[in-house]
Amino acid sequence: MKVIDHIKKAKKPFISFELIPPKRGGDLKGLLSVLEDIVKYNPPFIDITSHSAEVVYDETKSGIQKKVKRKRPGTLGICALIQHKYDIDAVPHILTNGFTREETEDFLIELSYLGIDNILAIRGDDHGYIKPIPKGKSANVYASDLVKQIDDMNKGKYLEENLLDANPSSFCIGVGGYPEKHFEAPNLLTDIKFAKQKINNGAEYIVTQMFYDNESYFKYVDLCRSQGIKVPIIPGLKIITAKSNLSSIPKNFYINLPEELSEKIMDADKDKVVEVGVEWAAKQVKDLLKKGVPSIHFYIMQDSRPISMLMEKLNIF
């Protein structure tokens, strides 16, 4: 079922999750353990992140060697596992950075073969590596371009023209939203206008970047509505689990942490930080549900313990 249909048909608020594939050369044991923990909360869909190639430096017997590789492959296989082993809709992330439009189309065709109907279309992180585009190939620059490519496939328009047996795809397209604005946008309103372009190109819902002040989310929603964006806007949350998050989260995601939260984290003993993070997330969830959000999306990556603590505390899902 499509994400948009899950939202429309839900009789009560639900939760969804986002996971990250294991590192290259690893195994699925850890991820399977996380999946077994979270499926009991009946998520209608689970997102799986995608990662493009990046430059890495490996120490070898011959010295330091520069290589280009994907640190976390496996998005397709994990999505197939979720979709068919657990009977939960998988939402693979599709990137513009690091992939040609031709590679994207091939990946989308494979997803369609697997019966996967949902996509989160994003530009992806900049790892400082610009992939060369071979002659005769092309690339999407912005997420809105990627959305248009997927929407074209939904209309039966493929990159190769005159495909006699080409059927239209049927993807539900989600995109990212930034309650505190994307770090490259000059201001929040301009960023929302970029989001509207993605909606105009075919996106059907927005899932937000994590935030720790609910007022940022509500302000974002109000501004989106004022600009004519009518699609569902799913709030994204992440539980703080370590003191190091106080610097890593703002650095990597360009968001602010409320003074009250940061002070509680700094004052907490090392082994009590997770409890502080869970308590803060519980307060956010209760407030969001009280104000009528239809669903909440949790970024849990590869650690289900904090979410289990939160669900036990809430006891409402």
Average pLDDT value for residue range 27-56 = 86
> Taking a C-beta distance cutoff of 8 angstroms, is the pair 103, 129 a contact?
no
User: What residue ranges do the domains of the chain occupy?
Assistant: 3-314
pLDDT score of 208: 98
Which helix (DSSP H) or strand (DSSP E) does residue 47 occupy?
strand 45-48
Mean pLDDT of 303-314: 94
pLDDT of residue 147 exceeding 90, the answer is yes
* Token representation of residue 2: 């499509």
Tell me the residue ranges of DSSP E strands in 251-314.
295-301
User: How do residues 276-301 score in pLDDT, each as one tens digit?
Assistant: 999 999 999 999 999 999 899 999 98
Q: How many CB atoms lie within 10 A of CB 109?
A: 14
Tell me which residue has tokens 């209608």. 44
Phi, psi of 153 (to 5 degrees): -60, -40
More confident residue, 98 or 15: 15
pLDDT category, 74, cuts 50, 70, 90?
A: confident
Q: Is the pLDDT of residue 253 over 80?
A: yes
CB contact at 8 A, 111 and 92 = yes
Question: What phi-psi label fits residue 234: left (phi over 0), alpha (psi between -120 and 50 degrees) or beta?
Answer: beta
Q: What is the average pLDDT value for the chain, to the nearest integer?
A: 90
| pLDDT at 155 > cutoff 80 | yes
Q: Say whether 200 sits in a helix, a strand or coil.
A: helix
pLDDT tens, 7-21? 999 999 999 999 999
Q: What is the pLDDT of residue 85?
A: 94
Contact present, 208 and 179 (Cβ < 8 Å): yes
Query: Which CATH code of 3.40.50.300, 1.10.1740.10, 3.20.20.220, 3.40.80.10 fits the domain covering 3-314?
Result: 3.20.20.220
| Residue 52 structure tokens | 């493009």
> What's the distance, Cα to Cα, between the start and end of the chain in Å?
20
Burial of 7 (0-12, 13-18, 19+ CB in 10 A): middle
Query: How do residues 103-144 score in pLDDT, each as one tens digit?
Result: 999 999 999 999 999 999 999 876 566 667 778 788 899 999
Give residue 58's pLDDT: 62
Q: What is the C-alpha separation between 190 and 176, in angstroms, rounded? A: 15
For residue 246, pLDDT over 60 is answered with: yes
CA separation for the pair 141, 182 (Å, rounded): 16
Instruction: Please give the Cα distance from 289 to 312 (Å, whole number).
Output: 17
CA 93 to chain centre: 6
C-alpha pair distances (Å), 226 with each of 77, 144, 176, 239, 293: 40, 20, 18, 30, 18
Whole-number pLDDT of residue 195: 97
Cα 201 to Cα 64: distance, rounded to the nearest angstrom? 45
* E strand or H helix at 145: helix 143-154
